[in-house]
Amino acid sequence: METVAAIPKYNLTEEQEKKLILREYRALLRALKPKLKPGDKELVRIAFEMAADAHKTMRRKSGEPYILHPLAVARICVEEIGLGVRSTICSLLHDTVEDTDITLDDIERQFGQEIARIVDGLTKIANVIDVNASQQAENFKKILLTLTDDPRVILIKLSDRLHNMRTLESMKREKQLKIASETVYVYSPLAHRMGLYNIKTEMEDLAMKYMEPDTYKEIARKLAETKRERTRYINEFIRPLRDKMEKADFNFEIHGRPKSIHSIWNKMKKKGVSFEEVYDLFAIRVILNSPHEREKEDCWKVYSMVTDEYTPSPERLRDWLSNPKSNGYEALHTTVMGPQGKWVEVQIRTKRMNEIAEKGVAAHWKYKEGAADESRFDKWFHQIREVLQTADNDSVDFLQDFKTSFLAEEIYVYTPKGDVKMLPVGSTSLDFAFSIHSAVGAHCIGAKVNHKLVPLSHKLRSGDQIEIITSNKQKPSEDWLNFVVTTKAKSKIKDALKEEKRKIAEDGKYTVQRKLESMGAGYNSNNIEILADFYKQPSTLDFFYQIATKGIDLKELKDFHVLGDKLEAPKPPKPINEIRPESGSNVTDYTKKDAELIIFGESSDKIMYNLANCCKPIPGDDVFGFVTTGKGLTIHRTNCPNASKLLANYGHRVVKTKWAKNKEISFLTGLNIIGLDDVGVVNKITNLISGEMKINISALSIEANEGIFRGSIKVFVHDKEELDELVHRLKSLNGIHSVDRFDAELS
């Protein structure tokens, strides 16, 4: 657990502290009241006292008493997710086993096996940071193993993470970046998958606040400025709909709600538009109070009223009533043309659907009818369980696969008999074959999608009907791994390839055995290890396989010595130009706590670094240093497309970095310019860049088409300030519509 802070300046007396803790505890009991059965209150009190006592000497980064964190986590579980008494007890105790003297046995003795098992799932694995595997991914794997037994583990874990995000303020900058990117990389998709939309959006917004603070503040400011006119517009839009629904005697509520800052920013990036051009800054939500048997019918009736009043966009209808998402989400979404020529999204759902949309899994179990109803959630857990049992050891790969397989949106496809299968977006016909059965996948040679023949790598779309064609002669091949996306398909293909390798390696084994015996050396594991090591093979299996496929020919065996039956490898000659690092060199230890690296200052010549190709940072960009194996330090922008993955998986390799002014060095960056094609526009642009601002142009290309010109300019700038100034001045030229930075390559 990261100990994070809620109040940056903390100065309460002991008496005030006690009152604060008691106030929080009472608020928790008030929230729990409807769920308390006889004896429950006593159990919650015991858990609270046990946690308060265990944490009594501990403080958070802000200086406040640690017990406020478990109390806050318990309140999120009860108030925002709708969990009950047992989850409250687990939340209160979730850090005790890891951070204090309390053991799992103590918890089991006091509260029983079920609570001990959940707390065990919440307890982090021992903090041994292995540079090759990601601590976070390992941790996550452990959470998932428990999730499939009891989803409350993941719900409490998400509450814990949400509270840490809400109180991230007083952490150090690099810790903020690490926790925020981990959240966006793993926890918010997981919250989405568990159906907790409110928590997912809050996590994304908070992460953006720390990862891209300037953009976040800018969008928040514009949202605040446009609030009044938005409210006016929403009221105008809702009025005729409210009248119609009241006449039809519906019991309903209807309101507008703003989209999250993170989703607005995503729209701006994806569509390449400015804030002013994002049309759906808000959505209208209709919530009906309908009996269970009339839910669908009522939603469609309201849909019909909305589309009678406003014209819908035909391709923007989303029907999750007939086919709910696998996280239980049900609703009708449509986008209609409202007054003043603005597109507006309307979401229609019932009270029950709304509770499932906000409380996710917890509400889903509340409404589950009969044990025979194996829900989509249960199927999802079952798939995860299957994958975890066969998962490979590489945790980082596992986490990546898990994201694409289980956290992506899903598509619905059909078998020839009309059974529905759910697969992640991007799945191919081969993924579908493996989802039916491992043997069907292994022997698959092609498929018919909607009765047309397609290759194995064909990407499926929702609604496709697929028939798999197999052949007994077919075997999985290495290149299959390049296009399958489901974890099940990947792990089954890897298993089959390993098995195939093992068979071929048997011949190599026999060859080595004969050679060793002819030399008088023993065929034993020790000698085989020495040989595999000498030929730089990662495992003995690879070594035998290379010999069987003639990748290694063993001619160096004559240089080996045999002592008794032991092999001794020849000493490798030293390369003549071997350079030893000087003692006391600065290049060696990047992982020193809080190493302050100044790039392009006095110390820049002492540290090997390079600028990442994926995001091309320039001085003034918000950056972090990342220790790359064999390459020294690589500098990335914090909003680099790879940043979340690096920070989430390898947080311990991140080094704090900042820029020092250095006007001698310039950096290549690019600008895309779009505007109205006008006489002399090129002259205006080049005059501003070269003439007024004295910036060197490396390349310039401009195309005009039907009155619009698109220009691409590569320039050398000293730092971000100079670039921002240039962008600002270009935008203020007459007829220029947009100016966007791109990462330029030297041509």
pLDDT tens, 705-726?
878 888 889 888 888 888 889 9
Residue 490 — very low, low, confident or very high, per pLDDT cuts 50/70/90? confident
Q: CA–CA separation, 21 vs 92, rounded Å?
A: 13
Largest CA distance in the chain: 100
Q: CA–CA separation, 663 vs 114, rounded Å?
A: 64
Beta bridge partners of 335: 345
Q: Are residues 506 and 548 in the same domain?
A: yes
Residue 148 — very low, low, confident or very high, per pLDDT cuts 50/70/90? low
| Strands 597-599, 657-659: pairing kind | parallel
pTM for this prediction: 0.64
Given 423, 458, 485, the domain boundary residue is 485
Q: Are residues 476 and 342 in the same domain?
A: no
pLDDT over 50 at 35, yes or no: yes
Q: Are residues 464 and 556 in the same domain?
A: no
Q: Are residues 436 and 338 in the same domain?
A: no
- Would residue 213 count as lying in a domain? no
Q: CA–CA separation, 565 vs 526, rounded Å?
A: 11
Q: Is residue 655 a contact partner of residue 684, using CB atoms and an 8 Å limit?
A: no
More confident residue, 364 or 632: 632
The backbone torsions φ and ψ at residue 521, rounded to the nearest 5 degrees and listed phi first, read -100, 155
pLDDT over 90 at 500, yes or no: no
Amino acid identity at 262: H
Q: Is residue 199 a contact partner of residue 357, using CB atoms and an 8 Å limit?
A: no
Domain at 465, CATH number: 3.10.20.30
Per the document, the length of the chain is: 747
- Number of domains composing the chain: 6
Q: Are residues 156 and 32 in the same domain?
A: yes
Alpha helices in 594-675, H assignment, sequence order: 643-649
Q: CA–CA separation, 500 vs 476, rounded Å?
A: 9
What is the full DSSP assignment across 685-706? HHIIIIIIS-PEEEEEEEEEET
Mean pLDDT for the stretch of residues 39-65: 88
Q: Are residues 136 and 260 in the same domain?
A: no
Least confident of 78-82, 122-126, 431-435, 625-629: 122-126
Q: Report the chain's C-alpha Rg in angstroms.
A: 31
Each residue of 432-453: b (16+ CB within 10 Å) or e?
A: bbbbeebeebbbbebbebeeee
**Looking at 410-465, which runs of residues are DSSP E strands?**
410-414, 420-424, 444-449, 452-454
Q: Are residues 140 and 275 in the same domain?
A: no
Any idea of the CA torsion for 405, 406, 410, 416, to the nearest 10 degrees? Answer: 60
Give the range with max mean pLDDT: 16-30, 370-384, 558-572: 16-30
pLDDT value of residue 311: 92
pLDDT over 50 at 80, yes or no: yes
Q: CA–CA separation, 492 vs 512, rounded Å?
A: 30
pLDDT value of residue 597: 52
Given 459, 485, 511, the domain boundary residue is 485
- Would residue 450 count as lying in a domain? yes
- Would residue 33 count as lying in a domain? yes
Q: Which are the catalytic amino acids?
A: 98-99
Any idea which residue has 């997912």 for tokens?
Answer: 200
pLDDT value of residue 666: 76
Least confident of 127-141, 514-528, 629-643, 680-694: 127-141
pLDDT value of residue 389: 58
Residue 343 — very low, low, confident or very high, per pLDDT cuts 50/70/90? confident
pLDDT over 70 at 341, yes or no: yes
More confident residue, 622 or 165: 165
pLDDT value of residue 387: 61
Beta bridge partners of 350: 288
Domain at 132, CATH number: 1.10.3210.10
Q: Are residues 644 and 707 in the same domain?
A: no
Residue 623 is part of which domain span?
A: 597-659
Q: Are residues 69 and 130 in the same domain?
A: yes
Per-residue pLDDT tens digits for 170-203: 788 888 888 888 788 778 888 887 778 889 999 9
Given 659, 685, 712, the domain boundary residue is 659
Q: CA–CA separation, 464 vs 686, rounded Å?
A: 53
Domain at 690, CATH number: 3.30.70.260
pLDDT value of residue 76: 92
DSSP single-letter state for residue 77:
I
Residue 308 — very low, low, confident or very high, per pLDDT cuts 50/70/90? very high
Mean pLDDT for the stretch of residues 125-149: 49
Q: Are residues 654 and 671 in the same domain?
A: no
DSSP single-letter state for residue 65:
B
- Would residue 155 count as lying in a domain? yes
Mean pLDDT of the chain: 79
pLDDT over 90 percentage in the chain: 20
Kindly list the distances between the CA atom of residue 627 and the CA atoms of 271, 373, 391, 546, in Å, as whole numbers in the listed order: 34, 50, 28, 33
Angle separating helix axes 197-211 and 261-271, nearest 10 degrees: 70
- Would residue 580 count as lying in a domain? no
Least confident of 373-382, 480-489, 582-591: 582-591
DSSP single-letter state for residue 652:
G
Q: Are residues 504 and 480 in the same domain?
A: no
pLDDT over 50 at 589, yes or no: no
Q: CA–CA separation, 24 vs 72, rounded Å?
A: 8
- Would residue 402 count as lying in a domain? no
Least confident of 220-224, 345-349, 461-465, 624-628: 624-628
Each residue of 703-738: b (16+ CB within 10 Å) or e?
A: eeeeeebebebbbbbbbbebbeebeeebeebeebee
- Would residue 563 count as lying in a domain? yes
Q: CA–CA separation, 99 vs 53, rounded Å?
A: 12
Q: Is residue 428 a contact partner of residue 458, using CB atoms and an 8 Å limit?
A: yes
Tokens representing 657 are 């970095």
Domain at 262, CATH number: 3.30.460.10
Q: Are residues 557 and 689 in the same domain?
A: no
- Would residue 378 count as lying in a domain? no
Q: CA–CA separation, 74 vs 92, rounded Å?
A: 6
Mean pLDDT for the stretch of residues 625-646: 78
